[in-house]
Structure 1
Amino acid sequence: MENNQQNLKKGLLPRHVQFIALAGMIGTGIFKGSSDTLNIAGPSVVFTYLVGGLLLFIVMAALGEMALAFPNLNVQHLVNKAFGFRVSFIVGWLYWINWILVTVVELLAAGSFLQFWLPDTPLWLLSLICASVIIGINLFQVKYYGEMEFWFAGIKILALVAFIVLGFLLLLGFIPSEVDNPISNYIGHGGFFPHGISGMMSAFLVVMFSYGGAELIGVAVTETKDADKVLPKIIKGAVWRVIIFYILPILIICGIMPWNKVSSVDSPFVQIFSTTGLPGAAHIMNFVLMTAVLSAANSGIYATSRTLFSMAQSGVAPKGLAKTSKKGIPLIGILITTVCILAGVYLAYITPGKIINYLMTIPGFTIMLIWICICAAQLKLRPTYKAQPHFQVKGFPYTTIFAIISLSVIFIGFLTSPSNLIGSSVALATVGVLVVLSLLIGNMDQNITKM
């Protein structure tokens, strides 16, 4: 039964939010995407991850500062407050489309990982089972979503820590392997910068997409207990999380095997685990990868339903979507998201893979746009704070401007890259449709108000 309340319950505990931030950063981007970045930039990609991590830190700091200055406002609310209806409409719906696409693809991936153990079961059935489980979790109180993300993130972190420990044991010779001289793997095969600075710049597109999802704490802030105490701690720990969970694994991979031997088909983590000769290594990594994609799908259901709720509160989506159930969840938003995701899984299954690859360009496009909007909103809203929060972006406004310019350069590089031509066209066309809709709906609202 629904009621007329329009408030989300603060059911997320500090440990939930800390692991939601971690889960957003640790996913298929590192487990699978690292093979792409290594092929693009070689060992020098560690600098790309570091610079990307710095930009991520600035974005999260700007987000945390605004969340403390304006309690109970999430990302969508803040963009609306800074730039008004039209920008909020475009960014909100683009973010919703982004997570719908991500969730669809992650559920298909989860089904494909299950096929490793159940090869005779159809992909659509396994994906449907995964979707049912994830949707079911989100129909309960938000604390159950937080609890699931807590354990999903815990498994991924445990896998990465195990990988780092095993990697160092291999490099130091404590575990027998074919690694004779790790240094030669770093400086040989074209050197540490095999494709120069241009290779590092090209890798930014994949790296920034890998970091996408960390901004989800800005969506979860309205359901977080003691957000003013929790957010600063999470944000301050962003840099060391990047170093531990991205930089160290990449350095280990490059030390154990030449970067140009890393397969773009299999996860480099699977390749390294296989060299250890550990029994069941393939099964272990398959389980971890399935956990990673289920975590992303779980976050997708949460992000899409809360984005619809926030947009309804801001007036850029139908007001009925702002109603919550007695459990304090936006039930209508979850049901709409469910229908779209199930339709997307079906369409993705019956259409050629290339179409989905083109559509998946939108998430990378959206993450850049969202991050730029967060920094721009902080730049605009800082003078309007009633009281200065205890946590602030240092070096303001220069730090924020640096992030906006850097993200814009990466964004333009993304659009102008020949390899992204079709995907960029799809993304720009999507934004174009949203711009037209924002103008039409905005004008309709103005006319109704005048009547």
Structure 2
Amino acid sequence: MNRTSVPDAPPRAQADGAAQAPDSSSGTPLSHGLKQRHLSMIALGGVIGAGLFVGSGAGIAAAGPSIVLAYAASGLLVLLVMRMLGEMSAANPASGSFSVHAERSIGPWAGFTAGWMFWTLLCVGIAAEAIGAAGIMTSWFPGTDSWMWVALFMAVFCGTNLAAVKNFGEFEFWFAALKIFAIAAFLVLGTLAILGVLPGTDAPGTDNLLHDGGFLPNGLNGLVVGLLASVFAYGGLETVTIAAAESEHPRQAVAKAVRTAMWRIALFYVGSMVVIVTVVPWDDPAVRSGPYVAVLDHLSIPAAGQIMNVVILAALLSAMNANIYGASRMAYSLVARGEGPRFLGKVSSGVPRRAVVASSAFGFLAVLFSYWWPETVFKWLLNMVGAAVLVVWGFIAAAQLRMRRQLEREQPERLTVRMWAFPYLTWVALAGVIAILLLMLREGDTRTQLCFTGGLTVVLAIVGYVRQRRVPPAPTPEKTPADTV
């Protein structure tokens, strides 16, 4: 690996007419093919993942009605993290996002560790989402095999990401539109049912919130389990700051996305949990397997299960698409800064195509691991990234602590988005991340994940530090994409 910048590619006109500008981490041109409507919808729909529709069932089963508090607490932490990331990304838009910020604020070893950790997380996520989407398709088409659907999905989304960034934007626009429509319809129906104005339903009042053990049926231990489940449902929100670097107006796009984070989290996540635990009993077996389907069935909505399967499929495919995009841009940024194999840094027509192929290939390989060694290699991969998002959040908080002071001294005009009550809330967020990591020691499964993720983090940090000591840092261009738009 060579820590020299990837050579600038000659600027080319984009199919959508958008100009190219150098990525702030390398000076290599990436397309500015994402429109504001793409970024707006990615920011809105990106918060709605398959983890919300499926994974929330286990959290409700553990915490009961107090899952509302769990999602509110974890949502507050995510809100603080996104605000910090938004401050740094609005000041210095970059396709490497928090990896670039960590490198500049803490050191190259930190950028290396955070970047490759996030890349691994996204690639393993590609595999998990492909397997989940294939499972839905085989339930609809019993005569087909899972591998056929996995191959199809991988080919489609790898192909669209290879063609142009606007293709990624268009897919995410429509996926997000479907998810937003579905969650909005669910919230409207649930609210009408709670108020007792939906035909054929009676207002449940507080019966389901206080029955069979009360609001905290499994005590604080259940609340902790629910909190851990809720934290990981928020993973992936960071991609919007990566995508913003390829938008028409990077700084404005990041600022707008971050400023709407509060009501999106409150409405989509916390609002959904309020509806679910109010409308149906938390200990209903149907809630654990599919809380949204359980509510729709309770309200006698025809074909509720199939409707939600369509929405969950859209959420899984959306996550696949976003993860291929995010992984490829993170790999590109790392390579451009001399932190990865140089051959992956080539950009064609504004797209880092080799990074797209490499990220997709690793995801597809992980799928094969799930078939060949589901209880060994694939399980190890899942455990290695089990707490990765918390490690990334920790780097974001640490980087923001240092970058904010530097910006205030040297470039205060770039602080278009500011972290609230700095530095106090930054320290609160960092303490929250550490507290959740410590809470993971309480449960067997999460303790295993923490150990594996900790091991991967230590290995990456050592490699990054050794490289930092041996190789001089690459020159970083002074201009950001926003400067040239």
Name the SS of the counterpart of 1:263 in structure 2: helix
The counterpart of 1:432, out of the listed 439, 458, 463, is: 458
Give how far 1:179 is off.
Answer: 5.5
More helix by share: 1
Alpha-carbon distance, 1:366 to partner: 1.1
Q: How does 1:119-198 map to 2 (within 5 A)?
A: 119-175=142-198, 181-198=204-221
State yes or no: 1:387 paired with 2:428.
no
Deviation of residue 230 (structure 1)? 2.3
Residue 398 of structure 1 corresponds to which residue in structure 2?
424
In the aligned structure 2, how far is the partner of 1:93 from the partner of 1:420?
21
- Code of the aligned partner of 2:223: M
Residue 67 (structure 1) shift: 1.9
Q: Check if 1:216 corresponds to 2:239.
A: yes
- Shift of the alpha carbon at 1:9? 1.2
2:322 maps to: 299
Distance 1:43 1:264 in 2: 12
| 1:43 aligned residue (51, 65, 70) | 65
| 1:423 lines up with 2:445 in the alignment | no
The residue that corresponds to 1:55 in the other structure is: 77
CA–CA distance in 2 between the matches of 1:373 and 1:28? 25
Structure 1 residue identity aligned to 2:150: S
1:225 aligns with 2:248: yes
Secondary structure of 2:421's counterpart equals coil
Over the aligned positions, Cα root-mean-square deviation in angstroms equals 2.2
User: Alpha-carbon deviations, 1:12-39, whole Å to 9, x = none?
Assistant: 1222122222333211121011111111
Q: CA deviation at 1:264?
A: 6.1
Corresponding residue for residue 359 of structure 2: 337
Q: How much does 1:416 deviate?
A: 4.7
Amino acid in structure 1 at the alignment position of 2:159: G
**Which residue in the other structure is 1:18 paired with?**
40
| CA distance in structure 1 between the aligned counterparts of 2:111 and 2:251, rounded to whole angstroms | 24
Deviations 1:187-245 (A, max 9, x none): 11111122233332332222111111111122223212212222222212111111211
Name the SS of the counterpart of 1:259 in structure 2.
coil
Correspondence 1:283 to 2:306: yes
Amino acid at match of 1:348: S
CA positional deviation for 1:290: 0.3
Deviation at residue 358 of structure 1 after TM alignment: 5.0
Aligned to 1:76: 99
Which amino acid is the alignment partner of residue 447 of structure 2?
A: L
Say which SS state the counterpart of residue 225 (structure 1) adopts: coil
Q: Contact 1:372/1:404 (CA < 8 Å) preserved in 2?
A: yes
Contact 2:387–2:449 (CA<8 Å) still a contact in 1?
no
1:152/1:363 Cα in 2 relative to 1: closer, same or farther (>3 Å)?
Answer: farther
Per-residue deviation, 1:177: 5.5
Say yes or no: does 1:310 pair with 2:333.
Answer: yes
Residue 230 of structure 2: which of 207, 210, 221 is its match? 207
Shift of residue 180 of structure 1? 6.3
Describe the SS at the equivalent of 2:471: helix
Q: How many residues align?
A: 445
Pairwise CA distance, 1:64: 1.6
Q: Does 1:348 align with 2:370?
A: yes
Instruction: Name whichever of 138-147 and 5-14 sits farther off.
Output: 5-14
The answer to whether the 8 Å contact 1:124/1:349 transfers is no
1:381 Cα deviation from its structure 2 partner: 1.0
Measured after TM superposition, the shift of residue 4 of structure 1 is: 3.6
* Aligned equivalents of 1:419, 1:318: Cα separation in 2: 34
Q: Counterparts of 1:59 and 1:13 in 2: how far apart (Å)?
A: 25
Q: 2:82, 2:238 within 8 Å by CA — same for their partners in 1? A: yes
Q: Which amino acid aligns with 2:51?
A: G
TM-score by length of 1: 0.92
Contact 2:201-2:299 within 8 A present in 1 as well:
no
1:177/1:275 contact within 8 Å kept: no
Task: Give, in angstroms, the shift of residue 420 of structure 1.
Answer: 2.1
Give the secondary-structure state (helix, strand or coil) at the position aligned to 2:238.
helix
SS of the residue 1:139 aligns to: helix
Letter in structure 2 aligned against 1:387: Q
Secondary structure at 1:191 match in 2 = coil
Mean Cα deviation higher: 217-226 or 195-204: 195-204
Q: What letter is aligned with 2:151?
A: L
In 2, Cα distance between equivalents of 1:146 and 1:372: 29
In structure 2, relative to structure 1, the CA distance for the partners of 1:323 and 1:376 (3 Å cut) is same
Which whole-Å CA distance do the structure 1 matches of 2:396 and 2:40 have between them? 20
269 and 442 in structure 1: CA distance in 2 versus 1, 3 angstrom threshold: same
Q: Deviations over 1:403-431 (max 9, x none)?
A: 11111111222245333233233222322
Contact 2:65–2:209 at 8 Å: present in 1 too? yes
User: Percent of counterpart pairs with the same letter?
Assistant: 31
Task: Tell me whether 286-295 or 129-138 shows the greater mean CA deviation.
Answer: 129-138
Measured after TM superposition, the shift of residue 387 of structure 1 is 2.1
Tell me, in whole angstroms, the C-alpha distance in 2 between the residues paired with 1:67 and 1:427.
26
Confirm whether residue 373 of structure 1 aligns to residue 389 of structure 2: no
Q: Report how far residue 54 of structure 1 moved.
A: 1.7
Of the structure 1 ranges 331-340 and 3-12, higher mean CA displacement relative to structure 2 is found in 3-12
Q: How much does 1:322 deviate? A: 2.5
1:208 and 1:364 in contact (8 A); partners too: no
Corresponding position: 1:412 with 2:435: no
Unaligned runs of at least 5 residues, structure 2: 1-6, 11-27, 474-485
2:131/2:146 contact within 8 Å kept: yes
Q: For residues 211 and 103 of structure 2, what CA distance do their matches in structure 1 show? A: 51
Deviation at 1:339, TM superposition (A): 1.8
> Does the CA-based 8 Å contact 2:109-2:461 persist in structure 1?
yes
Looking at structure 2, the residues matched to 127 and 292 of structure 1 have their Cα atoms a distance apart, in angstroms, of 15
- Once residues 274 and 358 of structure 1 are traced to their aligned partners in structure 2, the CA distance between those partners, rounded to angstroms, is 37
The residue aligned with 1:89 is 112
Of residues 4-13 and 363-372 in structure 1, the stretch that sits farther from structure 2 once superposed is 4-13
Deviation at 1:361, TM superposition (A): 3.5
Is contact 1:205–1:364 with CA below 8 Å preserved after alignment?
no
Q: CA deviation at 1:60?
A: 1.3
Cα deviation for residue 152 of structure 1 reads: 0.6
Q: Does structure 2 retain, via aligned residues, the 8 Å contact 1:24–1:212?
A: no
Shift of 1:353: 5.4
SS in 2 for 1:260: coil
Q: Is the 8 A contact 2:81 2:397 kept in 1?
A: yes
